[in-house]
């Protein structure tokens, strides 16, 4: 049997032909029986545009059912799907085009793109699902063929954010995606009885390879929204069984008066990822709804790595659980970079069928990240308990070394988030003339009357002196990426001169 992910999806959807596959903003789009034909028309359109096996197709647009059909059609063609953040500038896109060398760019008409020199085919696909590509597909008979692919053939290239340099394209194979969705299906106890409410961006692994894939693999109906909107989510939750989001989603739902216990009566699972979930949000959510949010851990290069248990009592706030089936994980450190005992913080490494093939046209970056025994350096630091449960302590690059002491931002962020009046907090290190680096706390407050001295007082009471922030700043909001992660690089730059000597 072909290992093409589309073949796997279609085989698993047999017997559910009359069940709705996609619902768009409350309106049915197609059943699972109709889905192959919908994909087939876009497959025919891609064939007419010259897309063939091994080509790269770049997509820069917003959520829509047409996005889903296009994605599946690209995989069915044996080509590689290359999604781009819809917010990227023309200059950012140009660098990625030069790297990926796509044969076709599919884009919203109003999105930022480099000047068109005619060397790469372009087709529009609008946020509402319209555009030249959809119009072409509608005129064509479905091409039901799905290219036979091996497990190790490439399915997608996803570029990292590039916060530490030039973006790197993670090469994801068909087996990476199929093995990961199978592991999540088992771990999170999915079935065809589920209905997934989907408000995540499809250009990101969380929205595409987790939420959408679980719907397609489980024959579970996916109700899609263009983007997250608290009122729209609240209106659709009663018809859903699963909701996946980033921590910001949960904070905004809690801030909405319409979010009540009755709203979530049909939900069996709330999942959070892509950024750390504060224990205070976990606790507030449980108090409001009775649900304990399931937090998991993954990244572009690996899709999902670990998950808290499905049983609610096994979900511990501030932790990301245990390795998924088939995944191996270790925490290393010390001068010999050996495996550390339980309870010691070190660098997280993993391997498994979900690990990408490396970085597109970046052999030096691949060699740096992949170990001789097949393990991958995630760039995250963490600690495992005696049972193997993992807690993330931060990114390796976020480690603060002040006066020779190691300081892990997550420890401080969890502590300060419990302070009354603190809505969110970010901890970072900035240059210091005496200590090398100094701890700086940046706070989002609930009220303009918040006194930053409160943070200083708690730090003095609860933390060793070397961990205490040497400055506390209050901002109206954090700079964030599309998935809600705080852009600490921008904050560091903003406060880099805080302790410069005159």
Write down the pTM of the prediction: 0.86
- Beta pairing, strands 104-107 & 121-124: parallel
Lowest-confidence region among 66-75, 177-186, 489-498? 489-498
Q: 491 CB contacts (<8 Å, ≥6 apart)?
A: 426, 428, 442, 478, 479
Residue 290 CB neighbour total at 10 angstroms: 11
Kindly indicate the confidence band of residue 502, based on its pLDDT and cuts at 50, 70 and 90: very low
**Distance in angstroms (rounded) separating the CA atoms of residues 298 and 313:** 22
Measured CA to CA, the distance from residue 421 to residue 412 in angstroms comes to 16
Half-sphere exposure of 6 (CA within 13 A, CB side): 29
Question: Would you say residue 102 has pLDDT above 90?
Answer: yes
| Helix count and strand count (H, E) for the chain | 15, 25
| Segment (H or E) for 17 | none
- pLDDT band at 485; cut points 50, 70, 90: confident
Q: Which two tokens stand for residue 346?
A: 């070190």
Retrieve residue 96's tokens.
């990625």
Answer for the pair 167, 161: CB distance below 8 angstroms, yes or no. Answer: yes
d(CA 98, CA 117): 13
| Range with lowest mean pLDDT among 37-41, 63-67, 163-167, 215-219 | 163-167
pLDDT at 165 over 60: no
Distance CA 80, CA 100 (A): 10
DSSP-assigned states of every residue in 338-389: EEPPTT--EEEEEESTTS---BTT-HHHHHHHB-TTS-EEEEEEEEE-TT--
* Least confident interval from 52-66, 218-232, 354-368, 424-438: 424-438
Q: Are 266 and 237 in contact (CB under 8 A)?
A: yes
* CA–CA dist 368, 90 (Å, integer): 29
* Residue where the block lists tokens 């649900």: 291
Domains by residue range for the chain, with CATH: 399-495 (3.30.300.30)
Q: What is the pLDDT of residue 178?
A: 98
Tokens of 430: 């900035």
Mean pLDDT of the chain, nearest integer: 93
Q: Calculate the alpha carbon distances from 196 to 5, 212, 300, 310, 341 in Å.
A: 20, 8, 22, 16, 39
- Three-state DSSP class for 107? strand
Helices (H), 129-278: 132-138, 174-187, 205, 213-218, 230-236, 247-254
Residues with Cβ within 8 Å of 182's Cβ and at least 6 positions away in sequence, in order, are 217
Instruction: In whole angstroms, give the CA distance from residue 203 to residue 42.
Output: 18
CA atoms within 13 A on the CB side of 130: 3
Helix or strand or coil: residue 27?
Answer: strand
Residues 266-275: what's their mean pLDDT? 94
């Amino acid at each position: 049997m072909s290992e093409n992910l589309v073949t796997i999806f279609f085989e698993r959807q047999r017997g559910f032909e009359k069940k709705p596959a996609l619902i768009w903003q409350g309106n049915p789009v197609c059943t699972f029986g109709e889905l192959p034909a919908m994909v087939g028309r876009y497959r025919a359109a891609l064939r007419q545009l010259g897309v063939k096996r091994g080509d790269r197709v770049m997509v820069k647009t917003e959520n829509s059912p047409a996005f889903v059909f296009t994605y599946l059609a690209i995989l069915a063609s044996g080509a590689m799907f290359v999604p781009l953040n819809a917010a990227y500038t023309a200059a950012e896109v140009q660098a990625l085009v030069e790297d990926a060398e796509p044969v076709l760019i599919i884009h919203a008409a109003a999105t930022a793109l480099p000047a068109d020199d005619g060397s790469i085919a372009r087709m529009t696909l609008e946020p509402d699902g319209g555009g030249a590509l959809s119009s072409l597909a509608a005129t064509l008979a479905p091409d039901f063929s799905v290219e036979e692919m091996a497990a190790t053939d490439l399915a997608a290239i996803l570029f990292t954010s590039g916060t530490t340099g030039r973006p790197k394209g993670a090469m994801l194979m068909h087996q990476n995606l199929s093995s990961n969705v199978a592991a999540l299906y088992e771990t999170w106890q999915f079935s065809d009885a589920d209905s997934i409410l989907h408000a995540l961006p499809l250009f990101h692994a969380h929205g595409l390879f987790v939420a959408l894939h679980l719907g397609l693999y489980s024959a579970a109906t996916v109700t899609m929204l263009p983007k997250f909107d608290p009122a729209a989510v609240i209106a659709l939750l009663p018809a859903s069984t699963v909701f996946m989001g980033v921590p910001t989603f949960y904070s905004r739902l809690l801030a909405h008066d319409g979010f009540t216990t009755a709203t979530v009566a049909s939900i069996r699972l709330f999942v959070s990822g892509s950024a750390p979930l504060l224990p205070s949000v976990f606790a507030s959510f449980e108090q409001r709804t009775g649900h304990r949010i399931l937090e998991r851990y993954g990244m572009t290069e690996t899709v999902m790595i670990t998950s808290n248990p499905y049983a609610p009592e096994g979900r511990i706030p501030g932790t990301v659980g245990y390795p998924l089936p088939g995944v191996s994980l270790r925490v290393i450190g010390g001068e010999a970079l050996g495996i550390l005992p339980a309870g010691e913080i070190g660098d997280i490494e993993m391997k498994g069928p979900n690990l990408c093939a490396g970085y597109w046209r970046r052999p030096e970056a691949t060699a740096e990240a992949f170990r001789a025994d097949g393990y991958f350096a995630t760039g995250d630091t963490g600690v495992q308990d005696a049972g193997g449960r993992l807690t993330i302590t931060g990114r390796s690059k976020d480690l603060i070394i002040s006066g020779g002491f190691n300081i892990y931002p997550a420890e401080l962020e969890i502590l300060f988030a419990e302070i009354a009046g603190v809505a969110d907090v970010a901890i970072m290190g900035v240059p210091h003339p005496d200590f090398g680096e100094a701890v700086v706390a940046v706070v989002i407050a609930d009220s303009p009357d918040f006194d930053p001295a409160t943070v200083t007082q708690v730090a003095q009471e609860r933390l060793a002196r070397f961990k205490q922030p040497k400055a506390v700043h209050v901002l109206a909001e954090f700079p964030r990426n599309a998935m809600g992660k705080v852009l600490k690089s921008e904050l560091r730059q903003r406060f880099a001169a805080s302790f410069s000597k005159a």
